[in-house]
Amino acid sequence: MLSGGLQKMAAVPGADSVGTVEYRLRVGEHEVGLNARIGMPLSLEWHGEIACTNCGRNTRKSFGQGHCYPCFKRLARCDMCIVKPELCHYFQGTCREPEWGEASCFTPHVVYLANSSGLKVGITRKTQLPTRWLDQGAIQGLPILEVATRQQAGFAEVLLKEAVSDRTNWRAMLKGDVAMLDLYAERDRLLAQFAPRLDALRDTHGGDAIRRLDARAQAFTYPVRTFPTKVVSHNLDKTPKIEGVLLGIKGQYLMLDTGVINLRKFTGYQVSVA
């Protein structure tokens, strides 16, 4: 049995012939491989406490995936501009944590296409690939632009969102019936469609600020024995103890024969796992 604060699962592409993603469950200071548990019973019990992942204080409610309310209001990583980077207000002098912003947002980012429940566009720090795709349960991913800052990546994403969704249908993703796509063809189509407006962004921010990438697409296989035909979601706030046979893992979801649970949603919850 493991006890402690629940964290986001660690995930890396596997080394087997089909690249099955390897998952590790992280609870407090403990970390254990999950792939070998597929097909076996698993229980997850919340003890009614939530510890802020930033300051460690107890909080009755989690904000922004594991923060107490004071940290949620104070930390730049919890600001709206993380979700909508085009709204970055650093240059207005109102960034909550300027040093954190400089280290996290003024670094190379990529605009990417992924296939999780269908074609989607997204952005992330360059160093976060392929982790970002694995967290979304994407079966394919392709970086298409490298951008100098997070805000500039947001400007490019806003353009592409006119033609491609930036969201994942998590229920469709978990059912496992997503068709493979030609991401190279989708990239070429979108970059041609938005070429004049991307050029306008380059004129504003500099020719090297937004660069086309000719990267290789990646494909991922997830450790799933059986996909659910009907997705039923577990919630620790309503049902503190969840039990079932582990049938698979995809994205940040455990897929049990009794339902699915998004572990990332319950970051900071003090739990026991057996």
Across 78-227, where does the E strand assignment appear? 109-115, 119-125, 140-147, 210-212, 218-219
What's residue 19's pLDDT? 79
What's residue 54's pLDDT? 96
Structural domain boundaries of the chain? 2-66+223-273, 75-106, 108-219
| DSSP state for residue 15 in the 8-state scheme | S
What's residue 149's pLDDT? 97
Instruction: Describe the chain by its helix, strand, coil percentages, rounded to 5.
Output: 30, 30, 40
Euclidean distance between CA atoms 241 and 232, whole angstroms? 15
Q: What's this model's pTM, rounded to 2 decimal places? A: 0.94
Q: What is the largest CA-CA distance in the chain?
A: 57
Each of the 274 residues of the chain gets a pLDDT tens digit; together they read 899 999 999 999 987 767 799 999 999 999 999 999 999 999 999 999 999 999 999 999 999 999 999 999 999 999 999 999 999 999 999 999 999 999 999 999 999 999 999 999 999 999 999 999 999 999 999 999 999 999 999 999 999 999 999 999 999 999 999 999 999 999 999 999 999 999 999 999 998 899 999 999 999 999 999 999 999 999 999 999 999 999 999 999 999 999 999 999 999 999 999 9
Structure tokens that stand for 29 in this block: 């200071």
What's residue 115's pLDDT? 98
In sequence order, what DSSP letters do the residues of 47-108 get, joined into one string? Answer: EEEEB-TTT--B-SS-BTTTB-HHHHHH-GGGSHHHHSGGG--GGGT--S-HHHHHHHTSS-
Name the amino acid, one letter, at 54: N
What's residue 16's pLDDT? 75
Helix axes 195-205, 183-193, angle to 10 degrees: 70
User: What count of other Cβ atoms lies within 10 Å of the Cβ of residue 219?
Assistant: 16
